[in-house]
Each structure stands twice: as structure tokens, then as C-alpha cells.
A and B are shown apart, each in its own frame.
Chain A
Amino acid sequence: MDARRESEATPTKNPTGVERKSERELVVTRTINAPARLVFEAWTKAELFRRWWVPKSYGLTLLSCEMDVRVGGQYRLVFRHEDSTMEFFGTYVEVTPHSRLVWTNEEGDDGETVTTVTFDEKAGKTLLVVHDRYPSREALDSGSTYALPEVLDQLDELLASLGSSTEAK
């Protein structure tokens, strides 16, 4: 919407793709204009990771970010949202420098989600593929959408307006 402000921040934004591969899998893709070793660094050094992982629009404060990036190592992110704190934690399962990271997300009540990130470098650019495998369809639907009910409420309003404009055609 505010194209001017965005273009000032980053002049060369690549598109972000999202695909639901199955009832338990979501895949996100994005090309980053840098070699894989630098992109990998930004994913594996806590002081870099914490600068980009939390979307500003979510109104969350990252209180701490610990990452022990090696097979069997743990990570823990603690957020403050209004008056409460939230923790996200898990274990690194695979760490292949500059090409592949796999970790578990253990904070959920209904089983582990496994996140696999691959870094595929071509001509100095890196294709990132983030693959989330949820323990169940329900976990995906509730976990990935962040407060789905609120979204659906907003959607009701939007759809009401869309519906009336379609009828007018």
C-alpha cells in the first residue's frame, strides 16, 4: 500500500511465495540477493537472527534469543506481548553449513512441528525454501495463521463489502 516507503527501505524486493503442500505442510520461498554463506549466517547467529525474525507489525518485543546451532543444540526465543510472555523453543536436528537447517518446534501442545530450511545458491543469489511440517492438520490451521478467529471476523466484513460490489456489476 505504502509503496514509496517500502521502496526506500529495500529497492530490490523479491516475491515471497507460499504454498500449502498438504494438510500438514506449508512451504515458503524467497530469493535473497546474496551468497548462501551470508544468508546462512543471518539464520544461525542469534544477534543477526533476532533483527529480522520478528515481524514489526506483530507488536512483539523479543526479550531474549538464544541459539546453539549444532546438531542436538537448543534454541529459545522469549517474547513479550502486552502483559504476557511467550516462549518458542526446540532442537536443531540438522545443521549443514550454507545449505540446510532442520529444527523442531517443541512449544506446541499437540506434538512437534519440524522446520526445514534449504539455502540453494545460484549465480550469487540464494533461493530459500522454508518447509514446515505440522503434527496435524489442526496444528497447522491454528498455529500458522496467528489468531485465525480474529482474521475471520475481519474477513466477514471484507466479504460483505466484496459481495455487494460484485452484485453491483
Chain B
Amino acid sequence: MVQYSQTHFDASFGALSDATRRGVLEQLGRADASITALAERFHMTLTGMRKHVGILEQAGLVSTEKVGRVRTCKLGLRGLEEEAAWIERYRQLWAERFDALDIVVEELKRKEKANGRKKRK
């Protein structure tokens, strides 16, 4: 599971670094679509769109299914959520730390003000 995740995370970060690919994910978040429809929507050749979808598919962010002559793409929800959760967990750790740091620093600020007033007297 962990081994799977390491390679998976890297692939996801790469896949998400491109604006078109993020757009494709957004689009697929609303509805499944064929590669042809996606190519039209993003003003791209079929070959270009196939490449983008291939990268997203490798990262587990999108899954495709060929029915007859049409390849339909849908969101690979799992990959995206796992990525987000991993970062979110780390962010929460630090947010909790920083919230506590805020309190400590506020206290230092108050002390400094109080000391400043004393010194001026």
C-alpha cells in the first residue's frame, strides 16, 4: 500500500502541474466525457488530448473505458482524494502548531508592550 502510494503521489503531482489536465479533471468532475469531446472542448487535436488523458490515467486520476469506437473518460476520484488528504493531514499538523505559536507570540507582544511602558516611565 505504501509502496503503491509513493510512486502514485509523484505521478499525481506531475499530472496536476498542467493547466489543461487540471481543466480536464474539472470537466470530468461534472460529467464523464469522450476523448473526442474533451479535445473539442479544449481546442486540441485528438492525439494531444490522448496524451493528456494518458498521463492522468497513469496517475490514477482518470480512468477510461472503450465501448465500441468511443473511449469514455471518468474521474478516478480515488487518486485525487488520496493526494489531497495526504497534503491536508500535513497542513493540519502545522496549522495546529502555528495556532499555538500565535498564542505564545501574542503573549510576547503583550509583555514587550508592558515592558516598554515601564521603561519610558
Contact = CB atoms under 8 A, between A and B. Distances in A.
Interface of A: 6, 9-10, 12-14, 16-18, 20, 23, 26, 28, 30, 32-34, 38-39, 41-42, 48, 51-53, 55-58, 128, 130, 137-138, 141-142, 144-146, 148-149, 151-152, 155, 158-159, 162-163, 166
B89 A32 contact: no
B108 A38 contact: yes
B94 A38 contact: no
Contacts of A23: 10
B59 to A, nearest CB: 14
B9 to A, nearest CB: 7
Given A52-B101, A56-B100, A148-B2, 8 more contacts: A13-B102, A20-B13, A38-B109, A141-B2, A145-B86, A146-B93, A152-B82, A159-B77
Q: What DSSP secondary structure best describes chain A's contact surface? A: helix
22 contacts: A6-B99, A9-B99, A10-B106, A18-B94, A30-B98, A34-B105, A34-B109, A38-B108, A39-B101, A41-B108, A52-B100, A58-B93, A128-B98, A130-B94, A137-B10, A141-B9, A148-B86, A149-B1, A151-B85, A152-B1, A155-B81, A159-B78
A146 B94 CA distance: 13
Contacts of A141: 2, 5-6, 9
Contacts of B78: 159, 163
Interface residues on B, range: 35 or more
A51 B88 CA distance: 23
Given A16-B91, A18-B90, A159-B82, A149 B2 contact: yes
A145 B90 contact: yes
Contact of B81 (A14, A32, A162): A162
Most buried by A among B90, B94, B101: B101
Nearest to A42: B104
A12 B98 CA distance: 12
A34 B99 contact: no
Nearest to A20: B13
B95 interface: yes
A57 B96 contact: yes
Contacts of B114: none
